[in-house]
A and B are shown apart, each in its own frame.
Chain A
Amino acid sequence: MTGPDTLLTSMARPEDVLEAADIQGNSLAGFKNDHQMFLFAVIDDVVKAKAWLKQLVPKIATLAQVAPHNSNFKLLKRAEGRDPAGLNANWVNIAFSAPGLAKLTSASEIQGFSTSFANGLHVSSPSLGDSTNPAAEGNPKQWKVGGPQNVADLVVIIAADDPSDLDAITSDIKDSMYSASGAISSPFNAVFEQRCAVRPDLHGHEHFGFKDGISQPAPRGRLRSAVDAFLSPRVIDPSDPRSTAFGEPGQPLVWPGQFVLGYQLQNSHNALDPLPAVVPTPAWAKNGSYVVVRRLKQDVPAFWKSVSQLAGDPRLGRLGVERLGALLVGRWKSGAPIMRTPTADNLDLAADDYANNNFGFKNAATPAPIVPGMNYNGDHFAPSPGDLLGFVCPHAAHIRKANPRDLPTDTGGQNDTLTRLILRRGIPFGSPVSDPLAPTQEELAIERGLMFVSYQTSIKNQFEFLLNHWANVADQPQSGGMDPLLGQRFDSSGTNRRVIGIPAADGSLQQVEIDATWITATGGGYFFSPSIRAMRNNLS
């Protein structure tokens, strides 16, 4: 968590009331379900597609539905110490690519959308670090969806807690989208589908084994007109100045216009004083979000083989495989942050939502007092030190590259960093590997990875910035190497060799080289998640 300044001593401006019944639920609230399906399709018959959409709109999950459900789930889980039984939910959301919106409206109607969105993910692919070799698996020409030859017009996201529910809803929706054989035309043609599920063995962990999604910005905004009807709960005691800038400890409050169009925007100089909302073009884009979808294939055996080999580097001393892996990520497998437990994992810290995010990289952090009634005994874990020079957490560590928190960056201070944050809604696909260093043939034959999904209002200044300017650049936001996970830029020789600085067991910084490919993009797209009103009045 950051230091006490950043103008925290003053109150934030009143937060906009969100039109929760008009905003799709996966953006500001997020689907937390264990099972999800992504259906990518192209529009075959525009008239039928519009009619289909009109039928679907009442089934679209809104923020007004998803947010209270998530809130209840979290409260019950906190009270009971486990997932509450019987509190299930099934959700459907939809998003359209630029070609899809153009088919439903007109080419001129979408001119106000951003250039990145209009061009599509495959055009930005080189800047994201994907291979530029047309024959390579990670090149858009080889993608399963979203390449120049197979851009989807839309993606339907179906989420369920029970896999049989997911099957049933998916079947219903597919039946309505794709006609039976022999029909003259159907609303859509299928491009690709990806079934996803949380890991059954490690709930909430991605396939390399690390807990994912711990650090998310907390969107500001209110669900109702009541002054305290905040979308993101405020649990820090008001006596602490950090209570105005953080939801939970270490979870920064970010103005909602960063994620949904038409609301107050983050000010890159002052976290508490937002920039006024901008009316989007076209006006019906209000309450909508840009959605980035990236199907990221993970080579789990390659990752752990590399880490094992690196751990044998005598310059690093006896770091061990687990600790080296944690240094590459910035968190231990459990999710406990390196900044608070540098030499060994700490499962209690990992499980403490009010402590496992409470750290900075530049300034030493102190525990934050929590409001009464939260069934919390206090943050008694060792606080994080200041670590500007990267002797505790490497400058290249994934979580430090993706969110430098309180560090000064190449584009400004910590307030500027808040303008870069995205809401991540990813979920794994494929079955896990039981022993990454000794995978079975069956395991090797199966693809696994992460269906990366993010919501933002500027693809260029948020998602693309994080990938192109920080993850894939060795000396930004601090010198020390590319993000070892996401920074996999290939050079002209077709290799993705990268050098990163690692704090060795003796405290010295050592440069290690990685040249294996651990993550490969195999599809995706840039989409726009419209408001309910827009789908009803403008798109159907």
Chain B
Amino acid sequence: MPLASFDPPASLTDFNPSLRAAWNTYISYTFDQNIKDLTSGRLNPQFYNPTKVDTPDNRAADEITWIGFPRLISLKHPNDDPGAWKEADTPLATGERPQDEYLEWFVERTNGKVSHVSFTCEGPEYWEALADGYPHDYKGPRDPAVKGDRAKLLALYQQYINPAVQPNDLLSAGKYNRLNKWNTSRGAMHLNQRNNTLGAEINIAAQATILRADQNGQLITDADTLIQCAKFGQPGRASDPTIGDHVNSLARDGYSITLQNPVGLYMAGINTAGFVTPNGSDAQQYFKILRGAGGMTVRAVFEVPVSEGFSVGDITIDGQPIQFGGQIAEHITMKLTGLAFGKGQIQNPPQQCVDLAQAAMAGAVGTGLKTGLRYVR
């Protein structure tokens, strides 16, 4: 039996029944649209919508993991960890965070010393749906009866960010504003970096099921070469090439591939080896999961109870006091899970790289030849 419906990320229970139904419609449409975009370009995705295709019990699960700290920022600061940590902690002028590995954080300080670091990996689509019924960029069919639950939205902000949050703080022109002050300068309720979306996750997974060949016709099997060829996500990140390479590897093995329900991006865990506290206590206990159970953490905070007599800033990692949230993010593993079945049952020919295909298309105007969508991050 195919999956009955897509659940909200981490099976969170914030949505009322109509919002849950709308979420399922949105995710299912996004799957279908990605598949359609590829097939209309005469490509053969091995990606499928599990609410329409049965996923057999003997499927294989591939947990894809990456580090939560922005790798592109690390590469900009070789041998200068403090420089990388500072840049990653510093928001852009727009209020966006430069944290682009699907993990974002907000640092609170007391008397200049780090006291709390809140981590989130919730996609903005979820919060737009909660506020307005559907994600703002959604272009599929809508049930006009579906309304957002603004009261729930406010309650969650007040619970996790600040009791002082007011309804209008979260809106712009009557719609939810993902860059509102409580999700930028005053806190981190959900991901706000422009490329950190659930839509990106689904898009990369779908596009990465296309086998690719280089200009010599050789099947591409390397993560860096693949992402440069297929143009999904961004080279240099820890996340996108890794996700793409995992999925593409399964596709080369002839699997049919999808994303595990509930579709989401999750914190797999924190590695606190090397964290040294003033009283010798285990720092693992200070990482508290706030939202998402069953290995599907979407919100957590690193904080020390007042009763301990010290704060986060008094903890050292490899001898360095915690001064930035990025120091902790370096030790958080992110994950998503792909599902695959039918090894060896699909044998698609590899396709040329997107740039070459576009050049060919430009030279074949009028032939009807199309390529897959290029996802630009």
Residues of chain A touching chain B, judged by Cβ–Cβ distance below 8 Å, are 2-7, 9, 114-116, 119, 123-124, 126-129, 132, 268-270, 362-363, 386, 388-389, 406, 408-415, 458, 460, 464, 468-469, 472-479, 489, 491-492
Contacts and interface: CB of A to CB of B under 8 A. Distances in A.
Contacts of B333: 410, 473, 475-476
Given A269-B236, A414-B223, A478-B65, 6 more contacts: A5-B218, A6-B222, A270-B224, A413-B224, A469-B67, A489-B273
A127 B284 contact: no
Given A412-B241, A475-B269, A476-B333, A6 B65 contact: no
Given A475-B269, A491-B282, A492-B284, A5 B222 contact: yes
B75 A268 contact: yes
Interface string B287-302: 0000000000000000
Nearest to B282: A492
B56 to A, nearest CB: 15
A290 B253 CA distance: 41
Interface in B311-347: 317-320, 333, 335
A129 B284 contact: no
Interface string B212-252: 00101011111111000000000110100110011001101
A387 to B, nearest CB: 10
B307 interface: no
B176 interface: no
A410 B274 contact: no
Interface of B: 60, 62-63, 65-67, 71, 75, 79, 81, 214, 216, 218-225, 235-236, 238, 241-242, 245-246, 249-250, 252-253, 268-269, 271, 273-276, 280-282, 284-285, 317-320, 333, 335
B44 to A, nearest CB: 20
Nearest to A268: B75
Given A115-B319, A132-B280, A9 B216 contact: yes
A114 to B, nearest CB: 7
A408 B246 contact: yes
Contacts of A2: 221-222
Contact of A492 (B241, B269, B285): B285
B238 A411 contact: yes
B65 A126 contact: no
B271 A469 contact: yes
Contacts of B218: 4-5, 9
Contacts of B274: 124, 126-128, 468
A527 B280 CA distance: 27
Contacts of A475: 63, 65, 268-269, 333, 335
A3 B219 contact: yes
Contacts of B223: 408, 412-414
Given A410-B242, A411-B238, A469-B67, A5 B221 contact: yes
Contacts of B225: 5-7
A456 to B, nearest CB: 13
A458 B81 CA distance: 13
Contacts of A123: 318-319
B67 A410 contact: yes
A404 to B, nearest CB: 11
A460 B79 CA distance: 9
Nearest to B213: A5
Q: Which of B216, B242, B275, B335: most chain A Cβ within 10 A? A: B242
Contacts of A124: 274, 318-319
B347 to A, nearest CB: 14
B242 A468 contact: no
A302 B344 CA distance: 42
A411 to B, nearest CB: 5
Contacts of B273: 126-129, 468, 472, 489
Q: Which 9 A-B pairs have the closest CB atoms?
A: A127-B274, A413-B223, A492-B282, A3-B221, A408-B245, A479-B63, A123-B319, A410-B66, A119-B319
A408 B319 contact: no
Given A5-B218, A124-B274, A269-B224, A119 B282 contact: no
Given A5-B218, A469-B271, A475-B65, A408 B318 contact: no
B252 A386 contact: yes
B62 A389 contact: yes
A270 B66 CA distance: 20
Given A408-B241, A410-B66, A478-B65, A388 B220 contact: no
Given A115-B319, A362-B249, A479-B65, A408 B242 contact: yes
A286 to B, nearest CB: 15
B271 A473 contact: yes
A491 B224 contact: no
Given A268-B75, A469-B271, A477 B65 contact: yes
20 contacts: A5-B219, A5-B225, A115-B81, A116-B318, A126-B275, A269-B224, A363-B249, A386-B249, A408-B242, A409-B242, A413-B241, A414-B223, A460-B81, A469-B271, A472-B271, A473-B271, A475-B269, A476-B67, A479-B335, A492-B284
